[in-house]
Amino acid sequence: MNRSARSRRVPPADRRYATGSIGYSTREPMQPTEVAEPMKSFRIALYPGDGIGVEVLNEAVRVLGCVQEIVGGFELLYTQFDWGCAYAARHGHVTPADYLETLRPFDAIFLGAIGDPRCLPDPVTLVPLVQIRQRFDQYACLRPAKLYPGVRSPLRQPGAIDLLIVRENSEGEYAVCGGRVKTGRPEEIAIQSAVHTRAGVQRILRFAFASARTRRRRLTMITKSNALPYGMALWDAVLEEVCAEFPDVQAERQNADAAAMNLVRRPERFDVIVASNLFGDILSDLAGEITGGIGLAPSANVNPERVFPSMFEPVHGSAPDIAGKGIANPIAAILSGALMLEWLGLNEAAARVRRAVERALADGAATPDLGGSLTTGQMTDRVIQGLDDAGA
Ligand code: ATP
């Protein structure tokens, strides 16, 4: 493919974030005899947030616009919300009071990153994030970690790492349950309880088993029942029951500490890892790091029943230290966009984005966090250039 055809695929920056359809169509007009497939439309809430969240989401939307044009048959209808620290400076709060009602009708929420401790403390800015996950019952947090050719892992012999962490997102150790008494006194007491419910463990395990069925059919459940004999013992018991429903999936348990060790020693052995909120949080950062770092790590917070919108976001935060410099790696956001496409049933478009990312990385495209010198926009351009060739 010649270069001019490739560069035509890169939409101009000033057409980003249009509310409504991104109409970059360069396809030939349809002939009268053709029978058109009905266009699938999806309403996407864009929540860029703060810092590099805004920069990387811009770029991810640019990629989605291009893949929409290439694959065709669907349109993403965007509405952008300017919530975050700048909004708080004007209005006194990071979102309007009715933000959950506003987000409810969307098919998906595409988030950049929230927070900037220089402006507001994290516990204030992160409230909407927690509320969205809770109120929209996004109880499964998906964090795939794949080591792409061309990306350096800090491991000496990393092998072919390609795993999916399914983290319970609604209860467990992060259920706000506890209190402090005699605050500040020498005899102060703090109690922080983990809350595990049978129904909550069942549903996340079933979701993880079903995910394993679409992959290499291996599931590792993280436990620690040797030291946490109530909550984690419930996980163990429910695993025994649920694994009988999925005889075609090979299931095992590993203690959290052993799993951390094995992620470093033999990461290629893992396929799907399912874990409680805290263990999933810690292990997914480790998995992200061994596959090239936080700039590449996508995530999804999904409501598997699809009663509520699901939310897609890069794992990284707003990274105030590099915000505004144009050097943030957009790949985590772009791959989060691919997860969103897949969730919406747009599998061909999702696969095309992933292959284009894979190709760009294999060709040595790299932002400074990966040891390269590309800007955020240049890195995105390299992905977009690969979209045309990344067909099935
Ligand atoms: P938090 O997760 O608490 O919001 P944060 O916003 O300060 O934290 P993280 O996202 O955790 O930062 O990232 C830690 C560091 O990793 C950042 O300070 C930044 O230097 C680097 N980093 C994060 N994301 C990217 C990215 N997309 N591209 C390049 N570097 C990144």
The response to whether residue 58 sits with its C-beta less than 6 Å from ligand 1 reads no
Name beta bridge partners: 254: 222
The response to whether residue 295 sits with its C-beta less than 6 Å from ligand 1 reads yes
Tell me the best of 130, 289, 322 to mutate to test the pocket of ligand 1, counting ligand atoms within 8 Å of each CB and taking the most: 322
**Model pLDDT for residues 219-272, shown as the tens digit of each residue:** 999 999 999 999 999 999 999 999 999 999 999 999 999 999 999 999 999 999
User: Which of 90-94, 127-131, 151-155, 217-221 shows the highest mean pLDDT?
Assistant: 217-221
Rounded to two decimals, what is the model's pTM? Answer: 0.88
Tell me the best of 120, 294, 313 to mutate to test the pocket of ligand 1, counting ligand atoms within 8 Å of each CB and taking the most: 294
106 or 20, greater pLDDT: 106
Separation of CA 53 and ligand 1 centre (Å): 10
Confidence bin at 175 (pLDDT 50/70/90): confident
The response to whether residue 322 sits with its C-beta less than 6 Å from ligand 1 reads yes
Average pLDDT for residues 335-343, to the nearest whole number?
Answer: 98
The response to whether residue 332 sits with its C-beta less than 6 Å from ligand 1 reads yes
Full set of structural domains in the chain with CATH: 1-10+39-139+303-392 (3.40.718.10), 143-173+196-291 (3.40.718.10)
Distance between CA atoms of 205 and 12, rounded to whole angstroms?
Answer: 44
The response to whether residue 382 sits with its C-beta less than 6 Å from ligand 1 reads no
The response to whether residue 10 sits with its C-beta less than 6 Å from ligand 1 reads no
